[in-house]
Structure 1
Amino acid sequence: MINKLKITFLVGVFMMMFSGHIQAQLQQGQLVDGIAAVIGDEIVLESDVEENLNYAKQQGASNIDKCEFLENLLNNKLLVYEAKKDTLIENRSVAIKEQANAKYNQMLSQFPDEKTMLTAYKFRTAYEMKNAIEKMDTDTYYGQSKYQRITEKADVTPNEVTDFYNKHKLQLPEIKDEVSLAQIMMYPKLTEAHKQELIDKLKKIKQDIAGGETFESQARIYSEDEGSAANGGLYKNINRGQMVKSFEATALNLQEGEISDPVESEFGYHIIQLVRRSGKIYDARHILLKSTPTEEEITSAKKKLDSIKTLIVDGKITFKDAAFKYSDDKRTKFNAGLIPGADGSSKIERESVPGTISYELAGLNKGDITNAFEDEDSRRKVVKIVKIEDAIPSHQITLETDYDRIKQMALNKKRDEMVGKFINSKLSTTFISIDSRYDSCQFRSNWKKESLTK
């Protein structure tokens, strides 16, 4: 539920929400269906208002109306408008365009062809879709950059945190059961015989292509890359740095039309064909055979992890040091294996813990470590052990138990007040036009530029 307190923070929340549901906007295929407002030379579409409203409802928000969401969009667009005039904010238009092309190609890889993707997203042309992605990325970059510029010196004292808590404690939500979890994750190692089997299979496919089979047909038959197999293994308009290093290094050392020998990457083994190269952009086809471990290889990895658990339990190594030394998870190995929660902290709502891990944790208490178990990470089979670093029962927020959380809330409030003050200072000198359908809205700021002496 969104209450009065949460509405106060919507400027800051919107900055995250806007960037977080770009993909959802594209999936809805909502383009231009009317202009809701113009701020300077920035436009707010009616579909923007509807999409933000729907997104908030999906997140459980209630007791809100379109006027509130329009005002948050107005706030963001004014920040974008001002950011583009701010000489201290880097102009990243070239990088954003390249990023938009990369996103487009990544999305294209999930479809058999371009026409199918454009139809699915309800765009008429590739140019139209790339332009929409670029526009959303541009707004996100400039809006966030200006927000950060305005709030970069924001801070709160312990007294301000206490005052914030005392003023808002009746509105603060109850915290559900939470846990802090740490993990050590390993990719099961393939045996040399298994690796050679994959390499030999790719060599045979390459021979068949040399004998008259097309690369495209062999990719459709054999490639295990879900993103490109149906498209004959093709990735178009690849930017340098977009693919994993071993793939890119191999592709860019080929002549157009040439096919590589088998090459290993973190995903498995490939043969790669360079189709076209133009400056920093290239097209390439590949056939991937994934490094999918056998049951024996998984069992071997489990035994190794269980032996590491024994060392930890016996006090011969700490979980932190073991994570750094043995974990293959780059996201957590340098942070004592701690799994980040949705808010960036190490606390995770117990009910949101993934099912496989939750099952393994059943019956365990704070400080306990699971036995090694099989899981998936980014569609790859892995084995893990997980430790319960902390278990926090559901409770009402208090200064004693949740000081850092309350401090962040107080800081967010101060930041939003700073942004609100900045926005109010710009209203009188900025061109603003709001569609008449919002005439009845009572905005927090004077967007209608009504006389304050009435």
Structure 2
Amino acid sequence: MKNLSKIIILILTVCSIQVSAQEKLIDRVVATVGSGVILQSEVEAQYAQYLLNRGEPAADIKCRFLQQLIITKLLAQQAAIDSVEVTESEVDDDLNSRMRGMIAQGGGQERVEAFLKRSLLQYKEEMRPVVAEQLKAQKFQRSLIQKITITPLEVKKYFESLAENEVPNISTQVEIGEITIEPELTKDEKNVFKERAEKYRQQVLDGTDFGTVARFYSEDKESAKRGGELGFAPRTNYVKEFSAMAFKLKEGEISPVFETEYGFHFLQVLQRRGEDVNVRHVLILTQPTQASLDRAKTKLDSVLNLVKTGKMSFSAAASRYSDNKETKFTGGMVIDPRSENRSTIIAVENLEKEVFVAIDPIQPGEYTESYQYQDPRTGKIGYKFNYLKTRIPPHRASLEQDFATIQFYAQEDKTRRKMSEWFEKKTKTTFVQINEDFGSCDELKIFSKSNLEDVAVNGN
């Protein structure tokens, strides 16, 4: 089972694979998987994407790409049997995300199109069936994994089965809380940004091309590169003010300027398709003024004083005053984003640098001073202070102290084993034939029927 376990790591990540399209100069079958085939051009497409991402040229990389394609094909074929479907909007969203990534990594749209020897629009249509298959495989894979649960007894057995040198070493961990205050603009301060949006909207109404205005002036940098276009999406993809406007207008109609949590927008509906809509927009971000930042810090300092003097508990202050929607209702405690069981215990290496610097000098039970921060996801600036509840020094893992961490490893181990079992069964009952040109690839020997029999008999 060892060989199978090695490739199950690929199964668990296969649907995040980036696929590109190379001009189909070679059109021969390199693998047959059940009722489907994999072409040489598909392998070359993977290799092209690898090079585009600045990978080092290496012939053996193609072995791994063919292995990934076979795995995807097996998962997708079972997805079809189980009637797993993906929507057009899901495919569009994935394709648009890929386009953005390729443009960013490839140094701009023109360079990418020159590399692919086709327009991105043509590439997008060519890749539509490939992406649909990958998304079906991903959906089916998730359905399998979601059924795999683990009990406390299984966690205990897993830990007891580890050899001495397999017991993980745990680095310093902390439990921290935070209260954040975001700057609020006055009506007059907001009007500066609203008037800019109104000015650009008027340019469009006066005849300037919407896409040109978006490319030059929109502060949604990603969509600005595409003339403001966002692609097909359901209303749930957007904040309520944006979706309300997008689904109210007729095709071609231009909205008035409106406000969301991000700033001031105006948009144009390009096309509707069922419950999905494709729009383009111009966004003017609202930026905090120094006066609004000063007001935020003053407010946060007063909250910090309430907590430090014992006039209000930290959890009550977080619930009442904090602008952090993720921690406001957890008593201010930060949840480890990498944890599937919503653990509040976080390894210090996973903390944002500014948080680590703030809490490093204080002791458990103490609070940092207020400090300015910038959200790495949204770019928003505000003020926060942290509460250090617990600091756990480095140690060898124990079931009593590190149950959540061990549970995570046990869950991963069980998932790998269950997926190995599924994969072995599927491969035994599915015809897989690989072109002899790939006969020297160690990664592909697992698909040999004789090798599978050896694995089953000898446990290698």
Per the normalisation by structure 1, the TM-score is: 0.77
Q: Residue type matched to 1:346 in 2?
A: T
**Which residue number in structure 2 is paired with residue 394 of structure 1?**
394
- Using a 3 Å threshold, how does the CA distance of structure 1 residues 176 and 66 change in structure 2: closer, same or farther? farther
**Which residue number in structure 2 is paired with residue 62 of structure 1?**
none
Alpha-carbon offset, residue 121 of structure 1: 8.2
**Which residue number in structure 2 is paired with residue 404 of structure 1?**
404
Task: Provide, for residues 223-249 of structure 1, a one-character-per-residue CA deviation record: whole Å limited to 9, x for no partner.
Answer: 222123344433344444333221222
Q: Is the 8 A contact 2:4 2:446 kept in 1?
A: no
For 1:232 and 1:48, locate their aligned partners in 2 and report how far apart those are by CA, in whole Å: 28
Alpha-carbon offset, residue 346 of structure 1: 3.0
Task: Provide, for residues 350-405 of structure 1, a one-character-per-residue CA deviation record: whole Å limited to 9, x for no partner.
Answer: 23322222232231222332222222222222322222232222222222322332
**Which residue number in structure 2 is paired with residue 98 of structure 1?**
89
**Which residue number in structure 2 is paired with residue 17 of structure 1?**
13
Alpha-carbon offset, residue 141 of structure 1: 1.1
**Which residue number in structure 2 is paired with residue 339 of structure 1?**
335
**Which residue number in structure 2 is paired with residue 145 of structure 1?**
143
- Using a 3 Å threshold, how does the CA distance of structure 1 residues 435 and 319 change in structure 2: closer, same or farther? farther
**Which residue number in structure 1 is paired with residue 58 of structure 2?**
none
Counterpart of 2:313 (choices 318, 325, 331) is 318
For 1:392 and 1:8, locate their aligned partners in 2 and report how far apart those are by CA, in whole Å: 37
- Count residues in correspondence: 429
Counterpart of 1:172 (choices 150, 167, 183) is 167
**Which residue number in structure 2 is paired with residue 61 of structure 1?**
none
Q: Residue type matched to 2:304 in 1?
A: K
Alpha-carbon offset, residue 83 of structure 1: 4.1
**1:40 and 2:39 are equivalent in the alignment:** no
Q: Is the 8 A contact 1:155 1:411 kept in 2?
A: yes
Q: Is the 8 A contact 1:427 1:449 kept in 2?
A: no
**1:350 and 2:348 are equivalent in the alignment:** yes
Task: Provide, for residues 398-433 of structure 1, a one-character-per-residue CA deviation record: whole Å limited to 9, x for no partner.
Answer: 223223322343343334333433444444432122
Q: Residue type matched to 2:345 in 1?
A: K
For 1:291 and 1:131, locate their aligned partners in 2 and report how far apart those are by CA, in whole Å: 40
- Using a 3 Å threshold, how does the CA distance of structure 1 residues 183 and 42 change in structure 2: closer, same or farther? farther
SS in 2 for 1:84: helix
**Which residue number in structure 1 is paired with residue 193 of structure 2?**
198
Task: Provide, for residues 108-129 of structure 1, a one-character-per-residue CA deviation record: whole Å limited to 9, x for no partner.
Answer: 56869x9648628848422123
SS in 2 for 1:299: helix
Q: Is the 8 A contact 1:52 1:69 kept in 2?
A: no
Per the normalisation by structure 2, the TM-score is: 0.76
Alpha-carbon offset, residue 184 of structure 1: 2.5
For 2:256 and 2:350, locate their aligned partners in 1 and report how far apart those are by CA, in whole Å: 44
For 2:356 and 2:199, locate their aligned partners in 1 and report how far apart those are by CA, in whole Å: 44
* Structure 2: gaps of 5 or more residues: 56-60
For 1:389 and 1:210, locate their aligned partners in 2 and report how far apart those are by CA, in whole Å: 56
**Which residue number in structure 1 is paired with residue 383 of structure 2?**
383
For 1:388 and 1:253, locate their aligned partners in 2 and report how far apart those are by CA, in whole Å: 47
For 2:368 and 2:36, locate their aligned partners in 1 and report how far apart those are by CA, in whole Å: 53
**Structure 1 residues 288-307: aligned runs within 5 Å:** 288-307=283-302
SS in 2 for 1:385: strand
Q: Is the 8 A contact 1:12 1:412 kept in 2?
A: no
**Structure 1 residues 180-191: aligned runs within 5 Å:** 180-191=175-186
For 2:29 and 2:390, locate their aligned partners in 1 and report how far apart those are by CA, in whole Å: 50
**1:223 and 2:218 are equivalent in the alignment:** yes
For 1:159 and 1:236, locate their aligned partners in 2 and report how far apart those are by CA, in whole Å: 45
Task: Provide, for residues 263-312 of structure 1, a one-character-per-residue CA deviation record: whole Å limited to 9, x for no partner.
Answer: 01111011223344454444433222111101221121122122222222
Q: Is the 8 A contact 2:297 2:370 kept in 1?
A: yes
For 2:204 and 2:67, locate their aligned partners in 1 and report how far apart those are by CA, in whole Å: 59
> Once structures 1 and 2 are overlaid, which stretch shifts more, 204-213 or 243-252?
204-213
**Structure 1 residues 420-435: aligned runs within 5 Å:** 420-435=420-435
Q: Residue type matched to 1:85 in 2?
A: I
Q: In angstroms, what is the RMSD of aligned CA positions?
A: 4.2
**Which residue number in structure 1 is paired with residue 81 of structure 2?**
85
* Structure 1: gaps of 5 or more residues: 59-64
Q: Is the 8 A contact 1:165 1:399 kept in 2?
A: no
> Once structures 1 and 2 are overlaid, which stretch shifts more, 370-379 or 214-223?
214-223
